[in-house]
Structures are given as C-alpha cells and as structure tokens.
Amino acid sequence: MTIPHPAGYRPAPDGNHPPLLSEGYRSTVLRAPSEAPVVLRHRLTEVTGPLLTGDIGPNDHDLTAQHDGEPIGQRIVVFGRVLDSDGRAVPNTLVEVWQANAAGRYAHARDNWPAPLDPNFTGGGRVVTDAQGNYSFTTIKPGAYPWGNHHNAWRPAHIHLSLFGRSFTQRLVTQMYFPDDPLFAQDPIFNSVPDPTARQRLVSTFDLEATRPEWALAYRFDVVLRGREQTPFEEPHE
C-alpha cells in the first residue's frame, strides 16, 4: 500500500520567531547550532502529533488553589483561544503553564535570588482547550525578576506557556507578557523576536469585561499556531 503524501504545515514568516543565535541573550552563544537546519518535508510523523488530554488534576487550572492557603499577589484570570493561522480553533489541546510567584521567585531549587518563596504557590498548571479552542486559568500576577545576563538585567513579568496543537509541527513554547511593562526595552528575550508587530503578539491585553467583580483581574492571550497547506505536495516518483 502506498501512503499519500499529507498536506504539510506552512512555515512561519521571516522575523516571526527569534533566531537561535541572538547575541543579546548570552546563553544562546554556546547553545545555538552552527549549521543551518536541514529542511524536512512534512510526512506522517510531522503532520501527526501527541493528542494529550489526560491526567489533568482538579486544581491544575487554578494555581491559587493548589495549597492549604491562598498565595499572596494580585489574583488574575488568564484566558484566550488557541487558533491556527487560518483562524480555525484548536480544540482539546493541552496548554501547560509555569511562572514565578508575586515576588518574582520560582519555586525551583535553582532559583535562589533573595525574594521570598510563597508556601502557597508552586506556579505550575495545565488546562485543555474546549471545543472552540478556549482555555482559561486562574493564578496570581507574577513578579519581575533579575537575572545574570547583563548588568542590572530584569525579566519583565511573564508566564511560560507550552502548546502542542494537533501536529508535531505545531509544537510551540512561548511566554506571555503584560501590557505596558517598562522592562520590555531592556529584555533581550522579548526583543529577540525580530518583527516588532510579531513581538506585540506576546503581550496579553487587559480585559475589563472578563474581570471577575470583587475577585480577579483578567488578561486575554490568544495563541496562533501554524496553519496547514491547502494541498499535498506532489513528489516526483523516483
């Protein structure tokens, strides 16, 4: 039986994703491959991918409810839709998040800058999008934190997100930022995205409509994954 070549996924436009070597971010210097990547035509392994929906715990969507007490900080709802670049919803897809606490410290053994840990905050969560691609989780607004990249370097407040989509090619790990952060201008990770309009797509929007009165502020963050080619690529017979 011959397998038809599946339709692949369209590449990201130039400037949409950061170059792997981005000198302002020092850790890229020894980790970015020197050789140009070899283009791999999408075949079955690339157009399929893990469809992970299991093992979501009852408080995985609410990072403020994972301990006996409530964490310190501004309670927020982060929500949005996962779409492909044709505007189609990506339903039933796993979204994993992790973040620092309100003081900007991660509950991680290797984060030891002198900001307080919060015994009521671990900072990891996961949700699965609904049939329309919507996701939502409740957390506290993370603090900014210093890092050793350059003199007086501070990361703007951010939440890390990991998404699978429905194919290996759609896999995306990104960071969500908050509007009008004064730390953007000095952050080489945020600014590693060459296209300034693409960079703005990393910034969530404050959404007054979605706030929960007398409970939580709300930020909207839509995530757009790659869309699919319309027709399969025809390969000449060898």
Active site residue 42: no
Out of 9, 135, 145, 177, which one is annotated catalytic?
A: 145
Smaller CB distance to other proteins: residue 97 or 218?
Answer: 97
Question: How many beta carbons lie within 10 A of that of residue 170, not counting itself?
Answer: 21
CA gap 75, 78 in Å, rounded? 10
The Cα–Cα gap between 225 and 90 comes to 9
* Cβ contacts of 196 within 8 Å, gap of 6 or more: none
Q: How far is the CB of 68 from other proteins (least distance, A)?
A: 19
**What is the Cα gyration radius of the chain?**
20
Residues ≥6 apart with Cβ < 8 Å to 223: 80, 81, 82, 83, 95, 161, 163, 172, 174
| Minimum CB–partner distance for residue 119 and other proteins (Å) | 15
25 assigned to active site: no
For residues 26 and 97, what is the distance between their CA atoms, to the nearest angstrom?
24
CB of 210 to other proteins, least distance (A): 19
Is 160 one of the annotated active-site residues of the chain? yes
- Minimum Å gap between C-beta 135 and other proteins is 13
Q: Which of 25, 106, 135, 177 is catalytic?
A: 106
Nearest to other proteins of 109, 208 (CB atom): 109
First CA to last CA distance, the chain = 17
Using the minimum distance from each CB to other proteins, give the nearer residue, 48 or 215: 48
Choosing from 42, 81, 105, 158, the catalytic residue is 158
Known catalytic membership, residue 9:
no
Among residues 162 and 211, whose Cβ is nearest to other proteins? Answer: 162
Amino acid identity at 110: R
Active-site pick, 5, 43, 67, 160: 160
Residue placing its CB nearer to other proteins in the complex, 211 or 227: 227
SS3 category, 170: helix
5 is catalytic: no
Rounded to whole angstroms, the Cα distance separating 155 from 149 reads 10
Q: How far is CA 90 from its chain centroid?
A: 15
61 alpha-carbon distance from chain centroid: 15
Cβ 214 to other proteins shortest distance, Å: 30
Nearest of 92, 32, 6, 76 to residue 219 by alpha carbon: 76
Backbone angles phi, psi at 139, to 5 degrees: -155, -165
Which of 42, 155, 166, 226 is flagged as catalytic?
155
List residues with catalytic annotation. 106, 145, 155, 158, 160
